Structure 1
Amino acid sequence: MKGGSVHVIPGLKVLYFGTPVVLVSSRNPDGTANLAPMSSAWWLGQHAMLGLGDSGRTTANLLRERECVLNLPSSAMVDAVDRIALTTGRPDVPAYKLRQGYRYEPDKFALAGLTAQPSELVRAPRVAECPVQLECRVIAAHPFAGADVRATAFQVEVLRAYVEEELVIPGTSHVDPLRWDPLIMKFCEFFGGGQNVHPSRLAEGWEMPHRLGVAAG
């Protein structure tokens, strides 16, 4: 095949080709805050779709409270995100998560070293350090089941967006893509600016076969 490359069919086990990391903040039944890193999210207009596993506290919170905040960290925040990567807000940690190294953590904001900031339109707090914060309400929840996954796809509406002033193109309502450097997760590894920026506890827990050299900071 002229000018082409050879393709193989390896039967890919993981399909996380690269999406922004999102810190989802939600309210627990007792009114305290939960914070969960995830990367199965995409946006269309003023709505977003979130893919969350059914065993997590965040899924239960969204089904009950019908609201959340999507906090988008920059690549510079990778250490804070990684500190809570293998934690869960569920006191009864599922057996398969225990095997992967997860543990119960009731105060993820404190563990991550992040600040809970009151929201204006929802009860879940924002993450003050995140350059982008989106207050959302849940529009719909769709079961998402397969042979190896039990999850829920949440459709949320963005009610209000907060963006650091330096990221906004002056005189517009647009984010400057040259200034915004989101934390990206590719195959359970952390990337920013096209470089691997931090070792990933999640990749270790999921036994990913990568051997990455983290770029010097």
Structure 2
Amino acid sequence: MPWQDNYKLLIGSIVPRPIAFVSTRSADGVNNLAAFSFFNGVCPKPFIVAFAPMRRGATGEKKDTLRNIEETGEFVVNVVSEALVAPMSRTNPEFGPEVDEFEVAGLTPVPSDLVSPPRVMESPIQMECKLVQVVEFGEEAGAGSLVLGHVIKMHIAPSVYRDGKIDPDALQAVGRMAGDEYARITDRFPFRRSTLNDFAPQGDKG
């Protein structure tokens, strides 16, 4: 199948997808900001996150985000709340490397503590990351890369932090669906996860 058809099946089947709003800075000092919905956590020790930028659909070239990370070895993952969807969307076009998407989106860059790329002030959670590894999957249009980053510092707004945990109602994170659709996390339901004790013979449960 053409990669475009595979892409439609991928983004329609794997839903909802968390969004990494990734800020980087080029070796020349130009800020970049772009959203990626192929994003997830990997492990807590070391604290690793991953996102997967695809290559440009028209040319197969690497996107600015990946080029900047390969040049500097640093990036910031900013969590997207519902209030950030509109400005995030303004960063979607494939601008040239000389364009600062913070300015395009009308968002506020604030200095990071341990890496050079700025954080998005309006984001409730920001993860400063050092590059661990880039795994390449092809070099043509439709191909992509897996970027693994070590989270070396997190910034969490007090409004979303409760007793060592993130309050999902306060965070108001959104997920990506297919096309122009997003998902809220307001419709949740509890369901206890099974344990080995659930499968023990009757009377043997301790």
TM bracket, shorter-chain basis:
0.7 to 0.9
Take 1:87 and 1:147, find their aligned partners in 2: how far apart are those partners? 17
Preserved contact between residue 120 and residue 126 of structure 2 (Cα < 8 Å)? yes
2:66 maps to 59
**What aligned pairs does 1:71-110 form with structure 2 within 5 A after superposition?**
71-90=78-97, 106-110=99-103
More helix by percentage:
2
Structure 1 residues 147 and 26, CA gap change in structure 2 (3 angstroms) = closer
Larger radius of gyration: 2
User: Are the equivalent residues in 1 in contact too, given 2:20–2:51 (CA < 8 A)?
Assistant: no
Preserved contact between residue 77 and residue 127 of structure 2 (Cα < 8 Å): yes
Amino acid at match of 1:48: V
The question of 1:14 aligning with 2:9 is answered yes
Separation (CA, whole Å) in 1 of partners of 2:8 and 2:182: 20
Q: State the identity %.
A: 26
Aligned-partner Cα distance in 1 for 2:152–2:32: 20
- In the alignment, structure 2 segments of 5+ residues that lack a partner are 56-61, 187-206
TM-score (normalizing by structure 2): 0.75
Q: What is the CA–CA distance in structure 2 between the aligned matches of 1:39 and 1:77, rounded to whole Å?
A: 14
Does residue 183 (structure 1) correspond to residue 178 (structure 2)? The answer is: no
Structure 1 residues 21 and 89, CA gap change in structure 2 (3 angstroms): farther
How many residues are treated as equivalent by the alignment?
Answer: 170
Give, in angstroms, the shift of residue 65 of structure 1: 0.7
Measured against aligned partners, the alpha-carbon deviations of 1:170-190 in whole angstroms (never above 9, x if no partner) come to xx2211123221121111434
Structure 2 matches for 1:103-122, cutoff 5 A? Answer: 106-122=99-115
- Is it true that 1:162 corresponds to 2:155 in the alignment? yes
Q: Where in structure 1 are there 5+ consecutive unaligned residues?
A: 1-9, 92-105, 196-217
Structure 1 pair 77–151 and aligned structure 2 pair: CA distance change class (3 A): same
Where 2:168 maps in the other structure, the secondary structure is: coil
- Deviation for aligned residue 1:154: 0.9
Q: What TM-score comes out, normalization by structure 1 length? A: 0.71
How far apart, CA to CA, are the structure 2 residues paired with 1:123 and 1:11? 36
